[in-house]
Amino acid sequence: MAHCCINPSILSADFVNLEAELQRISTADAVHVDVMDNHFVPNLTIGLPVVQRIQEVSSLPLDAHLMIADPDRWAPAYAEAGIESVTFHVEAAKAPVRLARELRFHGAKAGMALKPATAVEPYLDLLPEMDLLLIMTVEPGFGGQAFLDVTLPKIRKAANAVAGSGLPVAIQVDGGVTEETIVRAAEAGATVFVAGSAVYGQTDPEQAIASLRAAAKVL
């Protein structure tokens, strides 16, 4: 399979010691940063000023996942700040194509996220506008949830559409990723894996990253 990426989620990290926590995942591909606004999802995490500070001290690129209302208004600022990848939820966006183009205009990779119950078929025509398609494998808002196998057919449909298009669109999964569930997600066609507690809940996060990477390649 193609190179798989492991993007640990700092939602499971120690927020008081984020710089040290970033150093514990230096072998990862990117840092997944969950931005929640207590409107789109029932949780509140961090905003742009903290994300910018994380970027300043991180040796890895940032993969920002905006679980926020009105991303059309707020998401472009993350791209303008130099965040490498900015993902918005299609359920919250009023004009997803325009927003994706604006993110790319400012130099960021544009990502589109879908909740577990959101069908992927209506959005496959938008793949040329995207660099990343995020299939949520839990309900967005909280870490530590169990992987929803009901999302596997959606991952497969998305991966098949990407393969058929020839476009370099990454299929990312987020939620409940473990050494066991990553195998099923990879078999379905996912290439980028967000892992929170499966990395930060372990004694040695970098060994956990290596184990996840190895498990994703066992196909």
Is 29 annotated as ligand-binding?
no
Which of 29, 37, 131, 174 is catalytic? The answer is: 174
Q: Give the pLDDT of residue 218.
A: 60
Per-residue confidence band for 2, with pLDDT thresholds at 50, 70 and 90: low
What class, spelled out in words, does domain 5-216 have in CATH?
alpha beta
Which of 29, 34, 37, 63 is catalytic? The answer is: 34
Tell me the mean pLDDT in the region 194-215: 96
Per-residue confidence band for 143, with pLDDT thresholds at 50, 70 and 90: confident
pLDDT tens for 88-140 read 999 999 999 999 999 999 999 999 999 999 999 999 999 999 999 999 999 98
pLDDT tens for 162-178 read 999 999 999 999 999 99
Concatenated DSSP letters for 53-82? HHHHH-SS-EEEEEE-S-HHHHHHHHHHTT
Is 65 annotated as ligand-binding?
yes
Is 82 annotated as ligand-binding?
no
Task: Give the Cα separation of 170 and 183 in Å (integer).
Answer: 17
Domain chopping of the chain, boundaries: 5-216
Tell me the mean pLDDT in the region 18-33: 97
Clarify whether 72 is annotated catalytic: no
Clarify whether 34 is annotated catalytic: yes
Tell me the mean pLDDT in the region 150-166: 97
User: Position of tokens 């490498």?
Assistant: 84
Six-digit token pair at 103?
């993110």
Is 143 annotated as ligand-binding?
yes
Q: Give the pLDDT of residue 1.
A: 45
Is 3 annotated as ligand-binding?
no
